[in-house]
Structure 1
Amino acid sequence: MARRQEKETNHAQGRTHDRIRHHHRGGRTLNLLGAAVVGLCMGVYVLHRTVLPMEGSHLLNAHLHDLMAMPILLGWIDLIMDHRAPSARIYGSTRFAVMLTILGTFVWEVVVPAIDPTSVSDPVDALCYGLGAIGYLALRRRVLAQESRRRKARAATGGGRVSTARR
């Protein structure tokens, strides 16, 4: 109700954009992306730990979890922040992902090994955290670009459903 009133007030005052949608980039799309990434990565993690340890692939056995750590964390943050502070742009930025990756690397590869004698620091883990973050950001940008094209096409045709299939 309040959103509709604000939208009508903006329209009556000659403002051409809807402030809520202007700041709320992604909306439902980011919720679906975050949920899909978190769910998929957690599913792979559980399967890998319990049912399907990969025979003969030491690299995958040792670093698959590290590769999925940042996509899970960034996807989870997208889910939470989209509901809590949709206008906060920092959480979806590359700078935020880099800061979070550095912080995660410091905690998981410096602090935890100092506290837990069974934990070992591994530089390949840090590389995996970075690759996971890059992969999630690339996927996120691609999904948001598709959503933006879809919205523009919908607006150009008067609001109807528009296919975004590439020709």
Structure 2
Amino acid sequence: MQHVANISIAVMYSMYFLAALFGYLTFYGEVEPELLHTYSRIDPYDTLILCVRVAVLTAVTLTVPIVLFPVRRAIQQMMFPNKTFYWPRHIAIAFVLLTLINLLVIFAPNILGIFGIIGATSAPCLIFIFPAVFYIRIVPKEEEPLRSVPKIMVSNS
């Protein structure tokens, strides 16, 4: 999985770098915050927009393996906690996730809304939920029981 993540990050970085570089070289100081909107001003036939959308879709598809593994595992643990590993279920969850993510990328009007949703949902987790869960999970129950004052304080914060 580490090898897949490394390749995915490298290819994703290259795709985003090339999109940013050619967007800047095409428009210089007139690049809008959403690169696709800049292309729509100059290309009435939308061929450039289509090429950029395909590049972004490819970059997103190559980025997804980084988050697909933990998300798929979390879905399997929540929906099928006591079931053994089953390839068809494993592939079906991956296929549904990839389809939903690609549909989101294709139909999202701009990236700001997506970043807003991701920021609104991940910031509370990173600030409040994850530190408490990590503390409760990392400190063994033998050293500090679950009903000890520090663990109760962490779970209430």
TM-score strictly above 0.5:
no
TM-score of the aligned structures, taking structure 1 as reference length: 0.30
Larger fraction in helix: 2
Higher relative contact order (CA 8 A, sep 6+): 1
Which has more radius of gyration?
2
